[in-house]
Chain A
Amino acid sequence: MLRIEYAYWLIAAFLIYTGLRHLRERHLWHAAFWLVLGVLFGSGDAILAQSAAGHALPAQLGGVGVIVLALLAPRLRRQAHPENCGPEERLQSAIRLGHTLFVPALLIPLVTLLVALFGGWLAISGHALFAAPQMTLTGLALACVVALFAASRVARTPMHEGVAEGRRLLDAIGWSALLPLLLAALGQVFTHSGVGTAIAAIATAWLPGGSALAALLAFALGMVLFTVIMGNAFAAFPVMMAGIGLPLLIRRHGADPAILGSMGMLCGYCGTLLTPMAADFNLVPAALLELRSPYGVIRAQVGGALAILATTIVLMWLFVFR
């Protein structure tokens, strides 16, 4: 049975490979960074299993590993890898191979789509082929392996060259690949430290009680602000809902809960478009596309996000108190 854990082991193998290559090239800080990350990924299941069984030590070591990664990250300078292949060579290859180059690239979304739609029905002698949790992501991992096979066939290049090219791209992304995971961990720590309840307490203390419009604006802008801080609308939603949405808007002013919930969440999504804290949507793509500014994607989103936010607030005002 294919489980998401296999994908994590593949990632761990790739990270450790990257670390070992750096070790051979005597980039010790880079080597340490990718090796620690690889070990964390490889041992992730064991850490979670031990925590669930009540043994905290592996998780604590994992926490130490995270701190080590944070101390190593500032030492990773982006280094320009010499390209293995000049632009002229690539152009010749592009002319020779033509549309067949698209086939492996399109296999990634296509195989993922097929697994997401039909993976649940596939079985070999009564055993389901794909485990139900995270089936789409398992499909994505499978699609990447299939695509690498296909790419190697199409380009008539051995697969290990592909892994080496992948490592070049991973180096170009560097530490920003790590931010989404760290921000998810930060969200957990914030929740456990009561940051959300403290902000909600301040917000309710400052809020004028009488006006429905003022409460609605505070709710919508609070969703945006809190999402900008936490990087995630899902973290902002329960806090703003418990602080303003439920007691003031729904209970006192009679707002429609379905509309308030749905559109309130969308206000948060506008915040996600604005914040470096949503690293996986904003900073990682900037690194992937090799933009010179890490905030390039956010800059391209500001105008759209504010326009969508304004529209959503107006729609809320029109419909929520019907």
Chain B
Amino acid sequence: MNYWPLLGVAVIVVGFVLRFNPVLVVVTAALSSGLLAGLSVPALLALLGDSFVASRMLLIFVLTLPAIGLLERAGLREHAQRWMARLQGLTLARLLVGYLLLRQLLAMLGLTGVAGPAQTVRPLLAPMAEAAAEKILPTLDDADRDELRAVAAATDNIGRFFGEDVFIALGAVLLIQAFYAQHGIALSPLAIAIWALPTAIAAFAIQSARVWLYQRRLRQRAAGGRGKAAG
């Protein structure tokens, strides 16, 4: 057993801890791991080039940028915020939990590309969440806004992750099935997917509770601020 390629993992850890540029860290790790495994330089370069261009679909989100950029210039975020401020019943927690449910259900149907950080979070969810939070606490500072946007992105991720595993015809379930098939255990995709449901429900409950707690913290701060102003 050749343990030297593990140094590539060490390069990653040390590089991220020392805050070097991540792009440089990742490529350095790939090169060191490949060379320590005894790959020749031409073979390593070809492997790097091939696998880079084979995953081009990961950059497809940049195609949303021109349309989103144009709409933001025309006031999309301002409009989303003003609209949110007018809606009485839609609180921050209801907005985020509603989005979480929708995202999870879409992912369960295999529709993960429909929503996402570029498609829905930046243009719609994040500004609406900010407006909803401003209804609670009008004096949001920059750190609050950062945290709020991060919560919106986290809600999007959690909805996607713990929905897609329930979908039978793609990704995770097929990978699990294929692994077992290689080792002589035959399973139907449905038998695997059904066992992702308990965690999907737990993930929905946990993230909903966290969003609700976050909203309660904002409310308490708002109440504290008012109390001080009155006193």
Contact = CB atoms under 8 A, between A and B. Distances in A.
A65 B53 CA distance: 11
Interface string A76-109: 0000000011010011111101110110110011
B157 A288 contact: no
Given A112-B113, A266-B165, A60 B8 contact: no
Interface of B: 1-3, 5-6, 8-9, 12-13, 16, 20-24, 26-31, 33-34, 36-37, 39, 42-80, 82-83, 110-115, 117-124, 126, 142, 146-147, 149-154, 156-158, 161-162, 165, 171-173, 175-176, 179-180, 183, 185, 187, 191-196, 198-199, 202-203, 206-207, 210
Contact of B165 (A166, A192, A269, A283): A269
Nearest to B37: A193
Chain B at the A interface: SS class: helix
A307 B22 CA distance: 28
15 contacts: A7-B63, A10-B63, A11-B62, A14-B66, A56-B42, A56-B43, A66-B27, A105-B71, A165-B69, A186-B26, A188-B51, A233-B172, A273-B161, A307-B206, A315-B202
B74 A116 contact: no
B122 A288 contact: yes
A152 B69 CA distance: 11
A299 B111 CA distance: 27
Contact of B146 (A14, A48, A73, A293): A293
A272 B161 contact: yes
A150 B74 CA distance: 13
Contacts, number: 441
Contacts of A113: 111, 114
Nearest to A190: B33
A85 B73 contact: yes
Contacts of A53: none
Closest 8 A/B residue pairs (Cβ): A62-B49, A165-B69, A94-B75, A63-B45, A193-B37, A166-B66, A162-B70, A166-B65
B59 A180 contact: yes
A193 B1 contact: no
A266 B179 contact: no
A261 B180 contact: yes
B67 A148 contact: yes
Given A94-B82, A193-B8, A315-B198, 8 more contacts: A62-B48, A71-B24, A93-B75, A99-B79, A141-B60, A155-B70, A273-B154, A277-B12
A181 B121 contact: no
Give chain A's interface residue range (CB within 8 Å of chain B): 35 or more
Contact of A151 (B46, B67, B124): B67
Nearest to B66: A166
A189 B146 contact: no
A300 B150 contact: yes
Contacts of B175: 234, 237, 265
B222 to A, nearest CB: 20
B74 A147 contact: no
Interface string A42-84: 0110011001000010111111111101110110000000001
Interface string A239-259: 001000010001000000111
A183 B60 CA distance: 16
Contact of A289 (B126, B199, B203): B126
A229 interface: yes
B150 A297 contact: yes
A296 interface: yes
Contacts of A284: 61, 117
B76 A101 contact: yes
Contacts of B23: 69-70, 73-74, 175, 178-179, 182
Given A198-B1, A261-B176, A188 B47 contact: yes
Contacts of A233: 172
A169 interface: yes
